[in-house]
Amino acid sequence: MSILGGKASANIKSFLRPNAPTIGTASVVNGSRASVTFTPSASGPAATSYTVTASPGGATGTGSSSPITVSGLTAGTAYTFTVTATSANGTSAASSASNGITPNWGSYSLLQTFNSSGNYTVSGNIGQLAIISYGGGAAGGQIGLAGGMGGGGGGIAHATEYAVNSGQSFTVTVGGGGNNAAANGGNSNFSGIASANGGNGLDSPSNTTTGNGGTGNASGGAGGRGGFGYGGGDPRDTGTPGESGGNISTNVGSFQASGGGGGGGVGTAGFADINGKPGGAGGNPRGGAGGAGSNSRPGTGSAGTAGTQPGGGGGAGGGGANANADAPGPFGAGAPGRVLVYGR
């Protein structure tokens, strides 16, 4: 009696299970996801959920209606899919297999540019991000009779093939540029994934030391040395150029960290036949030029040029020349950093 009862119960449950859905079309969403359509059975008990299963690998996606997305696929692998229907009474037989597809990652496209801090939220079918972060540039210095030191350019950092899901949010910090004489640039950061340091400033005369560029996957250019010979014809009188920023190569493209600002030229020391000296050129790319030293006494040095966004180091002010040798030209400000968000 119990055996017959068990068979009867099993047959009843089988009868109450939903019928298998009819498979529709599988299509590629991105390199790790596919979307599969289906049609629920027009007869038999109603289903409460449906499960799509990938072959090979067995990755699944579940939902209450068509289409259903299956995640966790491997780019370059060919897949087919089946679908089952489930209710409280059990799960149907599997549908026939879908058409075959091969997920792949397309090219990256620029999704958003951050010139100031904010938040980024993944939307749509984006499955991978690539991030390029530029640190802020340091401001040029301003000293006195001697030319100031150029500000260091911001560093650059990157991250690629970072897996994400729709709705995922990230905090974006964009480093500011130095806005006071020889002030350092701020660091830029994409939620700890790609962090680039700002450039460094230096506000004391030196014939050897300069404001270093910020670090990252590639460093920003160092600022140029200011004129240091005090107008007596010394070859060190002329401000030196800012150094170029380093390069990175990614599967998004090639990028270059920002150059340092040029050093300021020394101001005249009052000799009739000796003028103030030129400032150094800005480093490539985006570094500001240093200002020239004053040609007259008393006189004020020329202004340094501001760096260009993202992350250019500011040019130093040229040396002044008055009775107390304390009239340097204004410094060039460092440029703010930038964060670029690419996706595919």
Single out the residue of 187, 193, 249 nearest to residue 218, CA to CA: 249
Quote the mean pLDDT of the chain: 89
Cα–Cα distance between 128 and 163 in angstroms, integer?
5
Task: Name the most confidently modeled range: 91-95, 103-107, 147-151.
Answer: 91-95
Burial of 328 (0-12, 13-18, 19+ CB in 10 A): buried
Start-end of H helices in the chain: 2-16
Q: Is-contact 139 148, C-beta < 8 A?
A: no
Full-model pTM: 0.85
Which residues neighbour 61 within 8 Å (Cβ) at sequence distance 6 or greater? 36, 51, 52, 68, 69, 70, 71
- What tens digit of pLDDT does each residue of 205-260 get? 655 556 788 898 999 999 998 887 655 556 667 889 999 999 999 999 999 999 99
- What tens digit of pLDDT does each residue of 156-205 get? 999 999 999 999 999 999 999 999 999 999 999 999 999 999 999 987 76
Q: Is-contact 51 62, C-beta < 8 A?
A: yes
Average pLDDT over residues 87-113: 96
- What tens digit of pLDDT does each residue of 258-314 get? 999 999 888 876 554 567 889 999 999 999 999 998 887 778 889 999 999 999 999
Domains along the sequence of the chain with CATH: 2-91 (2.60.40.10), 106-344 (no CATH)
Residue with tokens 């449906």, as numbered in its chain: 50
Cα–Cα distance between 338 and 344 in angstroms, integer?
20
Structure tokens that stand for 322 in this block: 């008055």
pLDDT at 99 exceeding the cut of 90? yes
Pseudo-torsion of CA 62, 65, 66, 68, nearest 10°?
Answer: -20
pLDDT on residue 1: 43
pLDDT on residue 339: 98
- Work out the pLDDT band at 2, boundaries 50, 70, 90: very low
Cα–Cα distance between 109 and 160 in angstroms, integer?
12
Q: What is the DSSP letter of 236?
A: G
pLDDT on residue 330: 92
- What tens digit of pLDDT does each residue of 52-72 get? 999 999 999 999 999 999 999
pLDDT at 8 exceeding the cut of 60? no
pLDDT at 16 exceeding the cut of 80? yes
pLDDT on residue 325: 52
Structure tokens that stand for 32 in this block: 């790790």
Average pLDDT over residues 116-139: 97
pLDDT on residue 145: 74
Pseudo-torsion of CA 111, 113, 114, 119, nearest 10°?
Answer: -10
